[in-house]
Structure 1
Amino acid sequence: DPIPTRTDLAKALIAHFTGHLSVSATMRAHDGIGTSQAHRTVSTGIMTVSVAFHDPVRWDGWLLYSHESTQVGGGMSYVRGQVHTESGELLASFTQEAMIRPVQADHSAIPASARL
């Protein structure tokens, strides 16, 4: 499918992808916990996302998303990140807060196909 030429749609696509790897980045530092356990032993949920665009969105090359897990504790994670163009220009900055909880034993009675 072609990349949208409308600025609002291009920004929406960039903003949508900011959350996909943020929770994964927070779990990497914890031995034995990773995205493969998502919705099996660990339940996650994105609580807030904030995105600021610094330059007009252009699709003339690849985009680099960087995620920095700055805080994990108390069942919450906080990630900040940036989106750079292929030439290194800062296109957008974002933050995300997410909930991370262990799946309780009584939740295992819910079939995996019925879990979010």
Structure 2
Amino acid sequence: MLEVTRKLVDLLDLSPIGDDHFQGDSEDLGFPSVFGGQVLGQALMAASRTVEGRLPHSLHAYFLRPGNHSMPIDYEVQRVRDGGSFSVRRVIARQNGKEILTGSMSFQVAEDGFEHQLDMPSAPDPEGLKSEQEYGEQLAPHVPEHLRDTLTRDRPIEIRPVDPVNPLKPEPRPPYKQSWFRTQGHLPDDPVLHRCLLTYASDFAFLGTSLNPHGVTFMDKKLQVASLDHSIWFHREFRMDEWLLYDKDSPSASGGRGFNRGNFFNQQGKLVASTTQEALIRHRS
């Protein structure tokens, strides 16, 4: 496992601070506040620490306040129900005593059942694509100095976008995006860790799908964006150290909000997880 990936795995390895209470460190990715995927991944890990013999199959969360990446985050887990097949947990993430995220996670025993899925959409193989970091290094000389470290930083999750938008010269395009994802280096055989890492990564390059038709990017100083909620469903087993295609679309934007959907497929064409997110996309005059 590469050092940059080990740091991310350690970030998700929460410290117990009491009965069903945990604490996680924060990382600074160069954003104004804590990366939402970090809080989601840590919240799922906190809930998983209170469940035995069952894996998470869904997560539904609301972002309430921006997090401070210079402070740790406390996670309170509430044991809502343990049934014969399913367990439900509620998680509250706090900083300075204020809630920054609240969510519910459901866990299920392994069982067989009906099987079907959508076909995997066509996409170029990841081996022929450049990574986001490589694109960032090309853009760095053309952006303000304070953005260069963010664009060129080492990343534990390698992302290779398909037909990326040029943030310096955005043009309106259909509300679709594709990216290949995998961690840098081999991971342990821990299915909970792989689910938490996918949860973390699922917030990357998601919100921007709803910006595609409007020809704007995060470089637009008049744009105010924030994730409002986020949901994930895990369908089948997968590994985050193997390539996964993140296929996204945005069916609607209205009322200052953009709605986004995503599907993760492995290279064998299996649908392993699905996501949704609504985000604030406000253009100030």
TM-score in terms of structure 2 length: 0.34
The more displaced of 42-51 and 4-13 is 4-13
Q: Tell me by how many angstroms 1:19 deviates.
A: 1.8
Cα pair 2:199 2:232 within 8 Å, conserved: yes
SS at match of 1:95: strand
User: Aligned residue for 2:280?
Assistant: 99
The alignment covers a number of residue pairs equal to 101
RMSD between aligned residues: 1.7
Determine which of 250, 275, 280 is the counterpart of 1:69.
250
Segments of 5+ residues of structure 2 without an aligned counterpart are: 3-185
Matches within 5 A, 1:1-116: 1=2, 2-31=186-215, 33-37=216-220, 40-59=221-240, 61-103=242-284
Segments of 5+ residues of structure 1 without an aligned counterpart are: 105-116
Classify 1:17/1:60 alpha carbon distance in 2 versus 1 (closer, same or farther; 3 Å): closer
If asked which structure has higher relative contact order (CA below 8 Å, sep 6+), I would say: 1
Classify 1:86/1:102 alpha carbon distance in 2 versus 1 (closer, same or farther; 3 Å): same
User: Aligned residue for 1:109?
Assistant: none
Q: Tell me by how many angstroms 1:102 deviates.
A: 2.5
SS at match of 1:94: strand
What amino acid is the match of 2:212? R
What amino acid is the match of 1:47? L
Q: Tell me by how many angstroms 1:87 deviates.
A: 0.7
Deviations 1:15-59 (A, max 9, x none): 12222112111111113x12322xx21111101111001011225
TM-score in terms of structure 1 length: 0.78
Structure 1 runs of 4+ aligned residues shifted over 3 Å read none
What amino acid is the match of 1:43? Q
Identity over the aligned pairs, expressed in percent?
28
